[in-house]
Structure 1
């Protein structure tokens, strides 16, 4: 379970709630107490239509919080950024993972930071940028196209000194996708296990769930639970969520059922 902590004024779900450093640290401790296995700290909103934040402002928001949280908790910390300088500063402050929604495409120095430090790297698929990604996204074959994207990004990373063991893949649910694309990706998530990298899935409270159940952001916990359970059954190893305590239970039960299903099928064919 990856607990989400946004130190932003405008994130779609919790923007502004943890903008204060003390509030952010207190929430981080609470997420860990609730069962988070790692924390993802972001200082620039990547919601649909979000405006970019400059490097200085992102550093000002993120680094004091990362520094304080690294002293307050023992779980690994991820920095959600596409800027190399912010990533480097966060890694120096105690983070061990970079969650780059642009998959090393935005800042050409990012690949060198990850290779040099040996940090983990999340390679996420996104069509367009946060400000444009939901403007009529289009795919002929969403699973095939994202598979090709992952293959190219993994090769790029390897060519620049990043080892396969450092890489986590994220199909980018809600990032440049329509409802049908998101549902297809979740239904066929197992396809991406072919790359041998952990799969990270972020469905928590997202707009596509609101389309399905017609509920506002803060009332999408049950819809999130259903999507999380399906993702676990289809191969997701890391679930990025806001409601850690509830989703921890969902993941544990879904994983147990999935394991039992696999064992039962093997026994039948033995």
Structure 2
């Protein structure tokens, strides 16, 4: 193609460092360092802060999976418990909400990466039995046995920074000498522990966990300095979608935070994050593809301007 050689030699202004293991392995799938992955949120809850139970019923949840796959999702992340305070959900109920659904998704989409957002080892074991590939531990190793479950099933694991808070605890006057240093130290320690237990080094991600254990200033600083986390070599997952730090920065309610979310997404992609946990898949996919195009890690879909 005319101009292709020129494209290959464009300088990359902000190169993403290679991951610790050189490749990201999620279940049966492997991804290159330059692959930017969209993780679509599928809530099996009645009280989600964003969708207010839109995918509580299993049929609607399956339709959501079909929709996000069509829009370009690489991963679906199934959650059975609201992240913040709300309805009490014990482990047995969380299993009921997630395990059977994971099995249904696996049957329909045999090659799709399926993640489950849980901090409980009991739930992790049930969903891995049902076909989950990735355990998204959003509460920073609160149940240390969850990493052992990942070993048992050769599952991938997300290690997050929550400032030591217990699950579903909102932050209150959290204080850090350096929030980014804390996020790096805590998540890397969890990642190294997981590997020492036997989790495949290629299957461990770290997550600064925007809003979790953080005020808005903290989340903005983590975003601004995210290149320090990606410089560790561990693949970084970010969960930015419609969060309070976006709403407070722009003074916007839930439902009006898409533009702010996409701005934070572009900055995070420029800094080298690899996985994006989101509500709006199509828009996120376009932002990530555009950033990759600017960096030079993805060729344009077509190039005809000035060449015809």
TM-score by length of 1: 0.91
**Deviation at 1:133?**
3.4
Output aligned runs, 1:75-224, within 5 Å: 75-104=112-141, 106-127=142-163, 128-224=165-261
1:109 & 1:139 partners in 2: Cα distance?
27
Give 1:69's match in structure 2, choosing from 105, 108, 120: 105
**Deviation at 1:158?**
2.5
Which residue pairs with 1:248 in the alignment?
Answer: 285
2:230 & 2:249 partners in 1: Cα distance?
27
Deviations along 1:227-253, one digit per CA (max 9) or x if unpaired, are: 111110011101111000111101110
- Higher normalized contact order (CA 8 Å, seq sep 6+, divided by chain length): 2
1:240 is paired with a residue of what secondary structure?
strand
**Deviation at 1:52?**
5.0
Give 2:274's match in structure 1, choosing from 237, 246, 256: 237
Give 1:41's match in structure 2, choosing from 75, 78, 95: 78
**Deviation at 1:71?**
1.7
Q: What are the ranges of 5 or more consecutive residues in structure 2 without an aligned counterpart?
A: 1-37, 298-308
**More helix per residue:** 1
When Rg is computed on C-alpha atoms for both structures, the one with the higher figure is 2
1:237 & 1:101 partners in 2: Cα distance?
17
1:245 & 1:97 partners in 2: Cα distance?
22
2:281 & 2:192 partners in 1: Cα distance?
34
Say which is worse superposed, 142-151 or 230-239, in terms of deviation. Answer: 142-151
1:251 is paired with a residue of what secondary structure?
helix
**Deviation at 1:116?**
1.6
Deviations along 1:67-116, one digit per CA (max 9) or x if unpaired, are: 11112223110011111121111111111000001233x22321221112
2:205 & 2:105 partners in 1: Cα distance?
23
1:50 & 1:138 partners in 2: Cα distance?
25
1:23 & 1:94 partners in 2: Cα distance?
20
Deviations along 1:1-55, one digit per CA (max 9) or x if unpaired, are: 11010111112111311110111001111010011011000001113x3465210
2:203 & 2:139 partners in 1: Cα distance?
16
1:10 & 1:229 partners in 2: Cα distance?
29
Change (3 A) 1:162 1:93: same
Which residue pairs with 2:90 in the alignment?
Answer: 54
2:255 is paired with a residue of what secondary structure?
helix
Deviations along 1:213-240, one digit per CA (max 9) or x if unpaired, are: 2222111111111111111001110111
The CA RMSD measured in Å over matched residues stands at 1.5
Give 2:67's match in structure 1, choosing from 17, 30, 35: 30
TM-score by length of 2: 0.80
Which residue pairs with 2:14 in the alignment?
Answer: none
